[in-house]
């Protein structure tokens, strides 16, 4: 489990692609002392496993399915990536509950700078829009954010990015047309499942 609070902005230094997987090498000088073999690391919101640790870098295997279903398919050598280690239950819980299981990929519409924040617009897949509400939580490329607005007619979601978020994450580098990982609030999915089961039980009576 993660919180959506980015601990470091790492950099991809190498990518080795095979037939069924790829190996990412990521430079993370600030976090590397805490990363051990087998640890879970959220990379742009995708839960990956550290398969080796060497100097200031670690490697992680990425399956073809993960590449095809997430924005990791756009990653290239030199790309900045949002990194977070698994949450510790004895620490203060910031952000919101994030699993590292990407629900879909959104398309960036634009990043509009303001005086003290930036407006970030993106179009989410239609099947995910029902889980998104104004003032609710959403995870974008691993970053816990609050939904500022959602247009149900166009599935355009707006969030507001403060300078701290722009400085500490890769969201400031996003351009129109870029893909971005989306994880909706898992509580909404639990509620949907419970209601569906309840309706089914009532119909079966």
Instruction: Please state the domain count of the chain.
Output: 2
In a domain, 199, yes or no: no
Strand partners, 182: 104, 140
pLDDT tens across 99-147, in order?
Answer: 899 999 999 999 999 888 999 999 999 999 999 999 999 999 999 999 9
pLDDT of residue 170: 97
pLDDT tens across 164-187, in order?
Answer: 999 999 999 999 999 999 999 888
CATH number (domain holding residue 72): 2.40.30.20
pLDDT of residue 49: 97
Domain that holds residue 15: 8-85
In a domain, 137, yes or no: yes
Query: Does position 161 have pLDDT exceeding 90, yes or no?
Result: yes
- Whether residue 126 sits in one domain with residue 177: yes
- Whether residue 139 sits in one domain with residue 66: no
In a domain, 95, yes or no: no
In a domain, 202, yes or no: no
In a domain, 112, yes or no: yes
- Whether residue 173 sits in one domain with residue 115: yes
Structure pTM? 0.92
- Whether residue 108 sits in one domain with residue 75: no
- Whether residue 170 sits in one domain with residue 112: yes
- Whether residue 125 sits in one domain with residue 78: no
Q: In angstroms, rounded to a whole number, what is the distance separating the alpha carbons of residues 144 and 162?
A: 12
40, 47 in Cβ contact below 8 A?
yes
pLDDT tens across 24-36, in order?
Answer: 999 999 999 999 9
pLDDT of residue 108: 97
User: In the chain, pLDDT over 90 holds for what percent of residues?
Assistant: 78
Question: What is the DSSP secondary structure assignment for residue 170, as one 8-state letter?
Answer: G
Residue tagged 């995910």 (tokens): 128
In a domain, 108, yes or no: yes
In a domain, 26, yes or no: yes
- Whether residue 14 sits in one domain with residue 67: yes
pLDDT of residue 93: 73
Structure tokens at 72: 């990791």
Determine the average pLDDT of the residues in 59-79: 94
- Whether residue 181 sits in one domain with residue 118: yes
User: In the chain, pLDDT over 70 holds for what percent of residues?
Assistant: 100
- Whether residue 111 sits in one domain with residue 177: yes
In a domain, 46, yes or no: yes
Pairing of strands 137-140, 143-151: antiparallel
pLDDT of residue 144: 96
Structure tokens at 143: 């970053």
pLDDT of residue 72: 95
Window from 24-28, 88-92, 94-98, 99-103 with minimum mean pLDDT: 88-92
């Amino acid at each position: 489990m993660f919180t959506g609070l980015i601990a470091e902005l790492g950099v991809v230094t190498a990518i080795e692609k095979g037939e069924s997987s790829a190996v990412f090498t990521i430079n993370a000088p600030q976090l590397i002392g805490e990363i051990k073999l087998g640890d879970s690391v959220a990379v742009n919101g995708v839960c990956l496993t550290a398969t080796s640790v060497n100097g200031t870098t670690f490697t992680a295997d990425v399956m073809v399915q993960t590449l095809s279903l997430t924005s990791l398919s756009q990653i290239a050598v030199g790309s900045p990536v949002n990194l977070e280690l698994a949450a510790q239950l004895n620490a203060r819980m910031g952000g919101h509950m994030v699993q590292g299981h990407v629900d879909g990929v959104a398309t960036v519409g634009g990043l509009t700078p303001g005086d003290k924040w930036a407006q970030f617009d993106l179009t989410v897949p239609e099947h995910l829009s029902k889980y998104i509400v104004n003032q609710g939580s959403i995870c974008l490329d691993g970053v816990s954010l609050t939904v500022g607005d959602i247009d149900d007619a166009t599935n355009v979601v707006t969030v507001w990015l403060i300078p701290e978020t722009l400085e500490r994450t890769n969201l400031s580098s996003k351009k129109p047309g870029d893909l971005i990982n989306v994880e909706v609030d898992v509580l909404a999915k639990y509620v949907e499942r419970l209601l569906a089961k309840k309706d089914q039980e009532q119909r079966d009576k």
